[in-house]
Amino acid sequence: MEKISRTKVVDVLRRTDFGATVNVKGWVRTRRGSKQVNFIALNDGSTIHNVQIVVDLETFDEEMLKQITTGACLSVNGILTESPGAGQNAEIQATEIQVLGTCDNTYPLQKKGHSLEFLREVAHLRPRTNTFGAVFRISHHMSMAIHQFFHERGFFNFHTPLITASDCEGAGQMFQVTTLNLYDLKKDENGSILYDDDFFGRQTSLTVSGQLEGELAATALGAIYTFGPTFRAENSNTPRHLAEFWMVEPEVAFNEIGENMDLAEDFIKYCVQWALDHCMDDITFLNNMFDKGLIERLQGVLKDSFVRLTYTEGIRILEEAVAGGRAFEFPVYWGADLASEHERYLVEEHFKRPVILTDYPKEIKSFYMKQNEDGKTVRAMDVLFPKIGEIIGGSEREADYNKLMTRIQEMNIPMKDMWWYLDTRKFGTCPHSGFGMGFERLLLFVTGMSNIRDVIPFPRTPRNAEF
Ligand code: 4AD
Ligand code: MG
């Protein structure tokens, strides 16, 4: 076969130099045609679109032609030709075909229209489908948008550790990291495990958030963001929870809660605008396949400013709804943690746009949040989105050493683990704020997929760590 340098499908479809000789490589999506001519739809992942290969059967070897089955990998040389078919510019009139990899009929992606549930069972192959190709290309573009947004604003990307000895959210939902022999654990007279011989000489876990180390960086570099994996051993089997997910956490010195809200709103709008600017082919596909309201919803959040509302006000609206006959699965009262159904009621039914809820009861929020003068609430903020519920959680941080200490003691957080964090409040403390956005929650919103297992390549959820 003549050696011609490869053109990606995304590029070949844009070319108009008809008559040129080109090479494309990719996987067969479909093959159809008559006894004389076959049409192969070839995809190489560079775009949702396939390039059509036109094969004049009598000029090719019969044994080779038999190997061109769904899923087979081909290298094709041919003449770039203006396509008579609607919806495509260019096709390729094949002159030489090499089968790089055959694919027999045990290939699980034979026909179109598999359910998303089935595709989760073949997560190793699902990136080859139109749907998951689209989702993972969008995922890449969202990573780029995130780095670009913060870089443009002078934030520094800061790497925080994944193995840690502290529990940022204080919720005790951590996966332990150990090299101890689980079949032969040494214990003291009270039955507690002795960690002296463990790798780090102490009990360690996978981090639930990079925030605490992010605060150290913000009170030195001014404005930083982390973007990395986080882990939560919470036993929630919902369409919005993963045990391993990626989180983006900006942290800014001197920002108060209002500026933190501005940053969160600008940030999400920037990401959504970026998706509309860079991923329209894939978004259009997902809009047509799964979620006819997707494009409209994306444009919708860009239009208006987000509603800003206190938790107390939010509860009042929900209580009024209940009084008016609206049924919820979980009870509504001041002090209750909001369920996703409550968040979505506020966003989708009451205000019909995104809501930033602030000033939550201190009992349902983390120890580090700035305490309000009322003694009951803290300067927390959750950004609530249509179809998703909470997409961002953040707060202004408690900058006062004594108030922070009191809260840590009230909540029984092990003090000796926290000395380095408390140093930020001891040495030149300052007002500062930040938030965390779950990357896969953003992807849920931008792709319109309804289960978080379908926006991450290899989901980790309770009782599931395949692939
Ligand atoms: O609200 P969370 O727990 O806040 C924090 O971790 C803070 N330390 C963030 C900060 O202020 N720097 O989590 C933040 C976000 C949530 O709003 C949600 O989008 C996402 O992380 N998230 C999850 N995403 C997928 N699966 C889970 N189990 C998630 N838990 C939280
Ligand atoms: Mg939260």
Arithmetic mean of pLDDT over the chain: 96
The percent of residues above 90 in pLDDT, for the chain, comes to: 94
Looking at residue 224, its pLDDT comes to 98
Q: What angle do CA 72, 87, 20 make, to 5 degrees?
A: 65
The percent of residues above 70 in pLDDT, for the chain, comes to: 100
Model's pTM, two decimal places? 0.96
* pLDDT tens for each residue of 81-95: 998 877 778 999 999
Question: Quick one: 97 exposed, middle or buried, by C-beta within 10 A (0-12, 13-18, 19+)?
Answer: buried
Query: Which position has the token pair 């709804």?
Result: 321
* CB-based contact 358:397 (threshold 8 Å): no
| Mean pLDDT, residues 145-159 taken together | 98
Measured from the Cβ of residue 195, the count of other Cβ atoms closer than 10 Å reads: 16
Q: Which of 357, 171, 169 is nearest to 261 (CA)?
A: 357
Token pair in block for residue 114: 């598999």
* pLDDT tens for each residue of 185-215: 999 999 999 999 999 999 999 999 999 999 9
pLDDT band at 171 (very low <50, low <70, confident <90, very high): confident
* pLDDT tens for each residue of 211-267: 999 999 999 999 999 999 999 998 889 999 999 999 999 999 999 999 999 999 999
Q: What separation in Å is there between the alpha carbon of 392 and the centre of ligand 2?
A: 7
Looking at residue 84, its pLDDT comes to 84
* CB-based contact 69:105 (threshold 8 Å): yes
Looking at residue 192, its pLDDT comes to 93
Q: What separation in Å is there between the alpha carbon of 390 and the centre of ligand 2?
A: 7
Mutate to test the pocket of ligand 1, among 167, 247, 260, 453 (most ligand atoms within 8 A of CB): 247
First to last CA, the chain: 36
Q: What separation in Å is there between the alpha carbon of 371 and the centre of ligand 1?
A: 20
- Report which ligand 1 atom has the smallest distance to the Cα of 241: 26
Looking at residue 249, its pLDDT comes to 98
* pLDDT tens for each residue of 363-419: 999 999 999 999 999 999 999 999 999 999 999 999 999 999 999 999 988 878 889
Cβ of 394 closer than 6 Å to ligand 1, yes or no, is yes
290-296, long-range: CB within 8 Å, 24+ apart, which pairs?
A: 290/131, 290/448, 290/449, 290/450, 291/448, 291/449, 291/450, 293/448, 294/447, 294/448
- 397-408 burial, b at 16+ Cβ within 10 Å, e below that, comes to bbbeeeebeebb
- In this structure, which residue's CA is closest to atom 17 in ligand 1? 392
* pLDDT tens for each residue of 362-373: 999 999 999 999
Cα 119 to its chain centre, rounded Å, is 19
Looking at residue 87, its pLDDT comes to 72
pLDDT beyond 90 at 170:
no
